[in-house]
Amino acid sequence: MQLGVCYYPEQWPRSMWADDAQRMAELGITHVRIAEFAWSRMEPRAGQYVWGWLDEAIETLAGAGLKLVLGTPTASPPKWLIDAHPDVLPVRADGTRWNFGSRRHYDISSETYRRECVRIVSAMAERYGRHPSIVAWQTDNELGCHDTVPSYSPAALKRFQAWLERRHETVDRLNEAWGNVFWSMEYPSFDAIGLPNLTPTDANPIHLLDFRRFMSDEVASFHREQIDVLRRFAPNADMLHNFMGFFTTFDHYRFAANKSIDVAAWDSYPIARTESIALPEEQKARYARTSHPDVSAFDHDRYRGIGGGRFWVMEQQAGPVNWAPFNPVPAPGMVRLWAFEAFAHGAELVSYFRWRQCPYAQEQMHSGLHLPNNELSPGGIEVRRAAAEIAASDVLKDLPAAAPAQVAVVFDYETQWMFEIQRHGTAFDYQTLAFDYYEALRELGIDVDIVSAKADLSGYKLVVVPSIAVIDDALVRQIESSSAQWVFGPRSGSKTGAFSIPGNLPPGALQHVLPMQVLEVESLRPTLQPSLWMSGESGIALHWREHVRANGEAQVEARFADGWPAIVSHGRVRYVAAWLTHSLHRTLLRQAAGDAGVAVQALPEGLRTRRRGEVTFAFNFSATTQYAPAPSNARFVLGEALLSTGDVCAWTEA
């Protein structure tokens, strides 16, 4: 459990650096990330490298005993580069190009830009790769942020056509797989295929899907080109990229494959995220100052899986930020709580953004651990406390890595893309549905792993698949060979990999283990509210419902008032034929957990628990004081059972 900070020496006079470094160490910070936006200072003119300042900054920080994470500066190409190669600017879906003047103004498919990136990264890595204090390298910064994937440039078009040719081999096969006979969309050759933008109505969904798959691969290969350089020059450092919360534009499992990262790092802004995702207004209001209790946990659990067990928080909210629709000051305690929350979910490092609020330019309204006048901010004071608490506890200092959970939630990026391409109803968002299931499990006190459907699922007692568009034979084999309880949500198995309806009707191959068929589907306007009773509880379908038929030995566990099945099951597999109200999801998952032999401890509103090794943590996100559900033999290693808003405690059992 270590604490870090993001620091920008290039934004402050040199005379401050040594004092900053010393005070970081005094505060209990062990890691500092630098350099990820400093290209114009590393190379002010083409080919003229200026390393003196960075040498000095690195030596100053290392001299204070700090470990460094060095970021490659490719998220902010300097003006001379753009002037020399204007085609590096990305093209948006409407055909216009973005301008210089902020950041991320580059086309990920530009071969010119990729060459420039390999050049600057090589120069940096050659110089600093074997520095003993540089323990990790971060590529770029938040790939895809500000909607910078996809790009609709001529470079992207060329690479898309080549990607299609590799995937489909002949254009006849592509025409067949895409169903291009529909609306006379057949192509004579690969180089006749365009990008799926600027069409009068919807482009062919498989055209859109293949473009999203391509763009996802572009992000991974852009990162990979840098990693190949970095591994050569910095063989002993950890490689990482700082991913984002609730972000699905590229497939993070594919990105992380083949050792392209050693640690999954991500940037956690819980209050801003609570404000900006599709939560009911009532929840945004309730958790405006504490953040929704599951919003960070969801990505902690997701990135722990993506990192193969290892994850860091590379940027942690340290106070009010500047980019959400509303940016309130966090409730007292939250800046400390978020660090312990991340540790409880298995984080090795929590690094705050940023050391000091910058009084100029775009992020002057964004807090840090210090006010612009260098006074410790309220968040900074909380970090000092957290660091002291960790240092004072032998148990907390040496927590083992998070063990696998008993319950998995399967999250699938392609499902997100498919249901974005074909929402069918404006309110259907797959990630929001996945979050709803996750939240229900967390309210039941259950620890969760979030994993890919291709992961080895054999160790889990309960596998929850909120939805998965394509059910392939490999997944069916996993179901057949496991002894887990399985829950599949609506739209599972509704598509083939070529974005068609399966020949045997949805849920496709799932019918091998659960004989049922989906006959019709409907998206629901808010006034359409099919109602049902389940285990003595009433509720409705929101957003989405299916008319399904139970075949053979399948059982109908719950029905809508109009007679249509709501839950169909066979053996250990359940299918939920609608997006149900949240409390019905919780009731259903409580039953499934019971059937799976997973212990449930229903938690009061806003309270959450998480186990790591022998330690159980409890967090209070609610507006009222609560008791943590500690047993009578609890030995507290942090705080105590009575938790005010924003407080945390942790215990072992004697």
The residues annotated as belonging to the active site are 142, 315
The least CB distance from residue 264 to ligand GAL, in Å, is: 15
Using an 8 Å Cβ cutoff, are 461 and 487 in contact? no
367 binds ligand GAL (CB under 6 A): no
Size of the site for ligand GAL (CB under 6 A): 11
Min dist CB 480 to ligand GAL, Å, is 43
> How big is the CA angle at 589 (ends 301 and 303), to the nearest 5 degrees?
10
Of all residues in this chain, which one has the CB nearest to ligand GAL in the complex? 142
Q: At closest approach, how far in Å is the CB of 43 from ligand GAL?
A: 20
Which are the contacts of 614, defined by CB distance < 8 A and separation ≥ 6? Answer: 395, 652, 653
- Minimal distance in Å, beta carbon 362 to ligand GAL? 8
Instruction: Please state the closest distance from residue 225 (CB atom) to ligand GAL, in A.
Output: 21
Residue 129 or 245: which CB sits closer to ligand GAL? 245
Q: Which is nearer to ligand GAL, 267 or 447 (CB)?
A: 267
Residue with smaller CB distance to ligand GAL, 5 or 446: 5
Q: Which one of residues 366, 370, 574, 612 is an interface residue with ligand GAL (CB under 6 A)?
A: 366
Q: Judged by CB under 6 A, does residue 415 bind ligand GAL?
A: no
User: Quick one: which of 109, 141, 216, 496 contacts ligand GAL (CB under 6 A)?
Assistant: 141
DSSP state of 569: E
**Restricting to residues 323-352, which ones interact with ligand GAL according to CB under 6 A?**
323
C-alpha neighbours within 13 Å on the C-beta side of residue 409: 30
Q: Does 353 bind ligand GAL (CB under 6 A)?
A: yes
State which residue, 269 or 544, has the beta carbon closest to ligand GAL: 269
CB of 174: closest distance to ligand GAL in angstroms?
37
Query: Which residue number, 267 or 439, has a Cβ lying nearer to ligand GAL?
Result: 267
Q: CB-wise, 262 or 363, nearer to ligand GAL?
A: 363
d(CA 643, CA 645): 7
Interface with ligand GAL, residue 321, by CB under 6 A: yes
Q: Which residue stretch of 141-149, 290-298, 368-376, 550-558 sits at the interface with ligand GAL (rule: CB under 6 A)?
A: 141-149
Which of 138-146, 304-312, 409-417, 527-535 is the region at the interface with ligand GAL (rule: CB under 6 A)?
138-146
Q: Is 174 in the site for ligand GAL (CB under 6 A)?
A: no
Nearer to ligand GAL, 269 or 621 (CB): 269
Q: Which stretch binds ligand GAL (CB under 6 A): 140-148, 149-157, 332-340, 633-641?
A: 140-148
Angle ∠(93,94,99) on CA atoms, nearest 5:
90
323 vs 533, beta carbon nearer ligand GAL: 323
Query: Any known ligand binding at 273?
Result: no
Give residues with Cβ within 8 angstroms of 557, minimum separation 6.
534, 566, 567, 568, 569, 574
**Dihedral of the alpha carbons of 139, 144, 149, 151, in degrees to the nearest 10:** -60
Question: Which residues touch 380 (CB under 8 Å, ≥6 apart)?
Answer: 27, 318, 368, 369, 370
Q: Which two tokens stand for residue 616?
A: 């159980």
The distance of closest approach from Cβ of residue 363 to ligand GAL in the complex, given in angstroms and rounded to an integer, is 6
The residue within the footprint of ligand GAL, chosen from 142, 210, 217, 443 (CB under 6 A), is 142
Q: Where are the beta strands (DSSP E) in 35-192?
A: 67-71, 134-138
Alpha-carbon span 315 to 474, nearest angstrom: 37
Is residue 607 within 8 A of residue 643, CB to CB? The reply is yes
**Sole residue written with tokens 């998206």:** 523
CA distances from 498 to 285, 470, 477, 501, 505 (A): 41, 9, 21, 9, 15
Sequential DSSP letters for 380-435 = HHHHHHHHHHHHH-HHHHTPPPPPPPSEEEE--HHHHHHHHHT-SSTT--HHHHHH
User: CA 122 to CA 141: how far, in whole Å?
Assistant: 17
The least CB distance from residue 6 to ligand GAL, in Å, is 7
**Residue 564 marked in a binding site:** no
315 is a contact residue toward ligand GAL (CB under 6 A): yes
Q: How many CB atoms lie within 10 A of CB 587?
A: 19
Q: 586 among the known binding-site residues?
A: no
Angle, CA 494 vertex, CA 488 and CA 495 arms, to 5°: 130
DSSP string covering 106-151: S-TT-HHHHHHHHHHHHHHHHHHTT-TTEEEEE-SSSTTGGGT---
The amino acid occupying position 331 is A
SS (H, E, C) 219-273: HHHHHHHHHHHHHHHCCCCEEECEEECCCCCCCHHHHHCCCCCCCEEEEECHHHH
Footprint of ligand GAL on 258-277 (CB under 6 A): 267, 269
Q: What angle do CA 273, 275, 277 make, to 5 degrees?
A: 65
Please identify, using beta-carbon distances, which residue of 145 and 156 lies nearer to ligand GAL. 145
C-alpha angle 358/364/368, rounded to 5°? 55
Q: How far is the CB of 607 from ligand GAL (least distance, A)?
A: 27
Question: b/e map of 406-423 (b: 16 or more CB within 10 Å)?
Answer: bbbbbbbbbbbbbbbbbe
449: contact with ligand GAL by CB under 6 A: no
CA dist 619 and 337 (Å) reads 7
145 binds ligand GAL (CB under 6 A): yes
* Binding-site residue positions: 103, 141, 323
Chain contacts with ligand GAL (rule: CB under 6 A): 141-142, 145, 267, 269, 315, 321, 323, 353, 363, 366
* Binding-site residue positions for substrate: 103, 141, 323
